[in-house]
């Protein structure tokens, strides 16, 4: 017995339509990418800007300064987006979304990233004023 999905255009016979497996595959990250997302939780928003001359001088004088930027541009874009998501939730700047897409990621992956991080973010407690 055949099944026709009448919710789809052309009765489900569309050749170019994406299946559920395609959507899951398109939103999946590689294990290394998930590791970058997890590690981005520990980075501060200040890690998004390049170290200036003062930061480099302090690092040279006292040593031990941490540079969170990654050498791979694609993974660095993922890290930057994840850092913003860990700190701001869904309030990601449009420029970051554009950079995310330019790096080769798609919007399904962005949704997956934001949903995963939102579920893992600690809830902020608001102070009550008496």
Determine, yes or no, domain membership for 101: yes
- Own/partner contacts of 60-65, CB < 8 Å, gap of 24 or more, are none
Query: Is the separation of the CB atoms in 90 and 114 below 8 Å?
Result: yes
What's the number of domains the chain is made of?
Answer: 1
Query: Which domain does 102 fall in, by range?
Result: 72-121
Q: Does 45 fall in a domain? A: no
Does a structural domain hold residue 96? yes
In a domain? residue 114: yes
**Residue 107 in domain:** yes
Separation between Cα atoms, residue 50 and residue 38, nearest integer Å: 21
State pTM to two decimals: 0.66
Residues 6 or more apart whose Cβ sits within 8 Å of residue 5: 11, 12
For residue 27, being part of any structural domain is answered with no
* Residue 76, in any domain of the structure: yes
Take residue 71 and report the two structure tokens written for it.
């050498």
Each residue's pLDDT, cut to its tens digit, for the chain (130 residues) gives 455 455 544 444 333 444 444 444 556 899 999 999 999 998 888 777 776 777 778 777 887 666 667 889 999 999 999 999 999 989 999 999 999 999 999 999 999 999 999 988 776 555 555 5
**Residue 80 half-sphere exposure toward CB, CA atoms < 13 A:** 21
């Amino acid at each position: 017995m055949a099944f026709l999905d009448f919710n789809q255009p052309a009765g489900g016979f569309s050749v170019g339509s994406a299946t559920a497996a395609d959507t899951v595959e398109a939103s999946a990250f590689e294990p290394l990418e998930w590791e970058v997302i997890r590690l981005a939780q520990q980075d501060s928003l200040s890690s998004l800007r390049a170290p200036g001359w003062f930061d480099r001088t302090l690092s040279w004088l006292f040593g031990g300064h941490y540079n969170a930027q990654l050498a791979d541009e694609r993974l660095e874009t993922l890290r930057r987006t994840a850092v913003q998501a860990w700190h701001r939730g869904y309030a990601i700047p449009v420029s970051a979304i554009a950079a995310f897409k330019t790096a080769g990621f798609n919007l399904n992956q962005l949704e997956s990233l934001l949903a995963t991080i939102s579920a893992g973010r600690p809830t902020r407690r608001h102070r009550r004023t008496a």
